Copies of this chain bind each other. A is one copy, B any other.
Amino acid sequence: KCLFGSGRLNGENATFAYEPRVALQTRRARAHALQTTFCHDLVAVFREALRASWKGVPAAPEDPLSAVSELVLDEEEDNLRETQRPAGTNKIGMVAWLITAKTPEYPEGRQLVIIANDVTIQAGSFGPAEDRFFAAASKLARQRKIPRLYVSANSGARIGLATEPLDLFQVKFVNNDPTKGFEYLYLDDAGMEKLNAKGAAASVVTEATVATDGKRHHVITDVIGLQQGLGVECLSGSGLIAGETSRATQEIFTTTIVTGRSVGIGAYLARLGERVIQVEGSPMILTGYQALNKLLGREVYTSNLQLGGPQIMYRNGVSHLTAADDLAAMKSFVRWLSYVPSARHAALPLSLNNQDGWDRPVGYTPPKGPYDPRHLLDGTLAEDGKTWLSGIFDKGSWQETLAGWATSVVVGRARLGGIPTGVIAVETRTLERVVPADPANPNSNEQRIMEAGQVWYPNSAHKTAQAIADINREGLPLMILANWRGFSGGQEDMFQQILKFGSMIVDNLVNFKQPVFVYLPPGAELRGGAWVVIDRTINENGMMEMYADPTSRGGVLEPEGIVSVKYRHDKQRETMLRLDSRYAELVKSGDKQASAAREKELSPIFNAIAVAYADLHDKTGRMAAMGVIRQAVPWSESRRYFYQRLRRRLVEEKSMELIMQARPGWSSVEARTFLESVIQVGLEDVEDGDMAGLIEQKQAALVEALEGLKRDAALAQINALAAGL
């Protein structure tokens, strides 16, 4: 609107009296009193977090924020504008910025939208104006396909009462005696006139009646109120941003930092955005503890943290990460962002500062017994306290999420030779799950339940499924270091819906859009249902591949189980007869006592032989022969192998995507054949390590072929359309 660009005072009246700094200082103090950062300081906090991410990286920029615009909603035109206005100019309890930030992965800058409650305006409650603004800012992020960070500090949906009739309404008392109770609220003629004089006739709905004293009573049937933000309209606005956030979660990278406190719709927005970083001391609640105490009729709860603090929300997988303070939370966000493409469907952000080259063996080898699966990923110090035993991923790149929930599965993100990757690994140790006692239920006790390693429980299956969905939406490939003996099938686990959560794993892998490598690490097992729900055939688009270390095992049951069905005592005796000449002789001689004694003596050995025979069916040789794994990959070589393979798959998928775009409707087989004709070699014959170079070398040919393809497709389509005319 302004002819002179969008300077700091753009849109302000020329005689605008700017607010003195001290007003900001008061609001800042009010925010701090609510244990959160004043929203207008969040950009500075984000800048600090970015600076920290540049630490040790050469050529760090002076200011990592190359552009910051505050977003303002022009309510009349329903139009979101970028402005440069003084901090604290906002009139509503919600602020947002469009920011271009320089990160080590995107030194030229990447965009994101930050939305935050302003707790200094009406306690950060959500009224219709706040809701419309939130929805518009979120939609902007969706349109640009860029990440959206929501900083949640609020008190839920706004409440209020209409003020206009408040000092005008009359009460029809029973027998006109106020101590006897009342019949209805009304306005008399004078009250009606006064309300009209206020211009607030629309504030009430009345029905006129003539009272016993002959006077006209305008009985109030509904109070409407002139202001917005009293009741249901706030709930409808909350519904608007709940739906908007649900869509955003599907379409872009959404994260929420929970600070201060998040109430009602605030708590729901956090969960609807899936990725939650919860600051300690900042609860997410639906109902405040005082209100609950009132409902329960006694002093049960003493704080909101009992209801929705990290001890609840981190342990049930609502909060993915916790942080000591807002800066730490922002640093976690910046780190998470570093794994994610600048926009949905953009190329993966490669780490340009990777110190840990892909071309090395994996140093750490897991022991026979239980161990911490994080060592497989991130490496660990040897027992001598000096030697570094490296993991499969880049040193220091592992970021775990949801660590407080369902600890028998470990999920997070890491880098493989600089390529960001989602990771799922399996705990092998037995860990304790604590279910807190609810103070409101006198019969409840704290329960401590031991959960064995290598077993899927309802909670860890749910966590696995949730992580797959999150990683898929982030556009990352996925590496599953599979090591499960199966699903736990006892009565409690069946009752706790293990079938539903196991099925969710399948549902989420069916929809996975990037490559998934399922790999059995050394000594790992994958049995029965656990194999079924991550088998490569689940994904129809060929996104999944399976591999196994030669020391791992896969099968329907463990060998002991197979033997107890298929190689039982009678068959073991046949083997004994064949292989122990002495037993054979004793049987032949008819000396039943002696043969029975020999049989008893040998029976444990021959049972072990039977188990060994069954176990030979579960090795990688058979997996490869049956075609259920692509090949056996030794653990020490796994880093090199999967780096090459992943790069190859990414390059290949990108090429296929371009072909499918140029020629919509082609099957993947047709696209594959086309690609092969361009690179003049069968894809099966290209070594993984050569693929990227080959595509680069044939780039000109590929571009030309794609142009031709587009032309052909257009002509074919024109013909088809013309024929239909």
Q: Does A435 contact B (CB under 8 A)?
A: yes
Chain A contact residues: over half helix, strand or loop, or mixed?
helix
| Residues from chain B with Cβ under 8 Å of A697 in the complex | none
Residues of B within 8 A of A318 (CB): 497, 499-500
B438, A628: Cβ atoms closer than 8 Å: no
Which positions 528-573 of chain A face chain B at CB distance < 8 Å? 528-529, 531-540, 554-557, 561-562, 565-567
Whether A491 contacts B239 by the Cβ 8 Å rule is no
In the complex formed, the residue of B with least CB distance to A559 is: B161
Distance in angstroms between the alpha carbons of A497 and B246 in the assembled complex: 17
Are B619 and A506 interface neighbours, CB within 8 A?
no
* Bound: A554/B234 CA distance, A: 11
Instruction: Using known A-B contacts A268-B529, A317-B497, A495-B435, determine if residue A556 contacts B179 with beta carbons closer than 8 Å.
Output: no
Interface residues of A in 101-155 (CB under 8 A from B): none
Q: Bound state CA distance, A211 and B274, in angstroms?
A: 61
Contacts of A717 in B (CB 8 A): 717, 721
User: Residue-by-residue, is A215-254 near B (CB-CB < 8 Å gives 1, otherwise 0)?
Assistant: 0000011111100101111111111101100110000000
The yes or no answer to A502 lying at the interface (CB within 8 A) is yes
Q: Which of A38-46, A337-345, A365-373, A602-610 contacts B (4 or more CB under 8 A)?
A: A602-610
A498, CB-defined interface residue at 8 Å: yes
Task: Say whether A243 contacts B495, CB under 8 Å.
Answer: no
Contact yes or no, B435 A246, CB < 8 A: no
Given contacts A286-B529, A495-B315, A532-B239, contact A502 B436 (CB under 8 A): no
A495 CB to nearest B CB, Å: 5
CA distance A170 to B578 in the complex (A): 9
Q: Are A243 and B506 in contact (CB under 8 A)?
A: yes
A625 located at the interface, meaning its Cβ lies under 8 Å from any Cβ of chain B in the complex: yes
When the two chains form their complex, are residues B556 and A234 in contact, meaning their CB atoms are under 8 A apart? yes
Contact A235 B532 (CB under 8 A): yes
State the interface size on chain A (CB cutoff 8 A).
153
B268 near A556 with CB under 8 A, answer no
Contact of A185 among B228, B312, B500, B613 (CB under 8 A): B613
Please determine whether B532 and A312 come into contact, CB atoms closer than 8 angstroms: no
Q: Which of B503, B625, B626 contacts A271 (CB under 8 A)?
A: B503
Partner of A169, one of B225, B613, B724: B613
- Which residue of chain B is the closest to A499 with respect to CB atoms? B271
A288–chain B nearest beta-carbon distance, Å: 9
Residues of chain B within 8 A of A268, CB atoms compared: 499, 502-503, 506, 529, 532-533
Cβ of A637 within 8 Å of any chain B Cβ, yes or no, is no
B623 touches A246 (CB 8 A): no
* Cβ A246 vs Cβ B601 within 8 A: no
Query: Across the interface, which residues of B come within 8 angstroms of A616, CB to CB?
Result: 185, 220-223
Which residues of B are found within 8 Å of A478, using beta-carbon distances?
Answer: none
| Cβ-defined partner of A623 (8 Å) among B232, B507, B601 | B232
**A439 — which chain B residues lie within 8 A by C-beta?**
491
- Contact, CB under 8 Å: B535 / A171: no
CB distance from A271 to the nearest CB of B (A): 4
Identify the stretch in A321-329, A482-490, A653-661 within 8 Å (CB) of chain B at 4 or more residues. Answer: A482-490
Check if B435 sits within 8 Å of A243, measured CB to CB: no
- Are the C-beta atoms of A224 and B622 separated by less than 8 Å? yes
Docked pose: A486 CA to B238 CA in angstroms? 14
Return the chain B residue nearest A235 by Cβ: B531
Q: Give Cα A166 to B562, complex, Å.
A: 14
A313, A489, A539 — most chain B CB neighbours (10 Å): A489
Looking at A182, A223, A315, the one whose CB has the most chain B CB atoms below 10 A away is: A223
Q: 9 extra interchain contacts, Cβ-Cβ under 8 A, other than A264-B529, A268-B499, A313-B494?
A: A222-B620, A237-B537, A238-B531, A238-B535, A268-B529, A284-B499, A286-B488, A438-B492, A718-B718
